[in-house]
Homo-oligomer: A and B are copies of this chain.
């Protein structure tokens, strides 16, 4: 185990653990003594029917989505019990850096979107006794989990808001994952994933950060020097202070575990590979949310899901922050997203 001070309660808490025991993965492998880290905001009511599940994106933790939760916001903990489960392999849950045995480091097994969703389902059913969810949402890889939830458990999910993500990884996104994964692996001390220090692969992490900078926003964001709006004086300052600062503390094997999960994400597996059939089976009232300038999950891709999910609407958010509008760094992005959550939660689904 490599102790990494980034994945701690200090940085991302408070969060709790649910012990899944020896957890069988879709691949057939067993992940021993699996811990699912999750955060909870608000209280479950007696009927246990006020729960919202908010799943987590690539490289993120439950902490990173907390700005959507608060009294007076759409995701109001005074009204809802909002549960944010961290990805398996994502750093807080059982992950390459915090497991012993042959599964440590580069030996960590392939974990799928489906594995996350099954683990989350166990948490909700076994630990909380929840039988219905008012809303499942998530951004990017969180959208992949959201689709998987709505397809696997159609009667449990009343409303769904997949945000800037698809039910099946697109070929272009697959290529994107290859490019940034290879940027990370290019680090001189990568050593096939058996690096000696959690922060050794600084150059690889920087290269990965720059690929995200290239694709994460949009050309106009940069042309209009919008970095000034989020507190940076220059592009170089933003690269260092935002993108590199985001990725540099993280564990490379954890990032690659998530990356492979993203790339292999395919909810059509539950309909014999027929994606249309899988999407058709969704019962949830669904807002397919897309960001207008998103360079790796463009609106065009999201239209496909909208077309095939029966009770769905496409909601497009205009923002020069592109894919990263979800971070809510620009106040108007946060407000627009908050109002979509509010609108969806007010939809009658009885």
Interchain CB contact under 8 A, B170 and A182: no
Secondary structure of the A side of the interface? helix
Interchain CB contact under 8 A, A175 and B235: yes
Query: Cβ of A178 < 8 Å from any Cβ of B?
Result: yes
The interface residues of chain B lying within 8 Å CB-to-CB of A176 are 214
Q: Tally chain A residues at the interface, Cβ within 8 Å.
A: 33
- Return A229 CB to nearest CB of chain B, in Å: 14
Question: How many copies, total?
Answer: 2
Interchain CB contact under 8 A, A222 and B172: yes
Interchain CB contact under 8 A, A175 and B300: no
The interface residues of chain B lying within 8 Å CB-to-CB of A174 are 235
Interchain CB contact under 8 A, B172 and A223: yes
Interchain CB contact under 8 A, B175 and A301: no
Query: Cβ of A262 < 8 Å from any Cβ of B?
Result: no
- Complex interface: stretch among A205-213, A279-287, A336-344: A205-213
The interface residues of chain B lying within 8 Å CB-to-CB of A215 are 214
Picked from B170, B219, B220, B223, the residue with its CB within 8 Å of the CB of A223 is B170
Cα–Cα, bound, A346→B171 (Å): 42
Cα–Cα, bound, A136→B164 (Å): 42
Picked from B173, B179, B188, B219, the residue with its CB within 8 Å of the CB of A172 is B219
Taking CB atoms and an 8 Å cut-off, the chain A residues in 122-181 that contact chain B are 170-176, 178-179
Pairs A–B under 8 Å by Cβ, sample size 19: A170-B222, A170-B223, A171-B223, A171-B225, A172-B218, A172-B219, A172-B222, A173-B219, A175-B210, A178-B210, A179-B207, A179-B214, A182-B207, A183-B183, A183-B186, A186-B186, A211-B211, A219-B300, A223-B300
Where the two chains meet, the residues of A that have a C-beta atom closer than 8 Å to any C-beta of B are: 170-176, 178-179, 182-183, 186, 188, 207, 210-211, 213-215, 218-223, 225, 235, 239, 295-296, 298, 300-301
Q: Which 9 A-B pairs have the closest CB atoms?
A: A171-B222, A186-B186, A172-B219, A172-B222, A179-B214, A179-B210, A219-B298, A171-B235, A175-B214
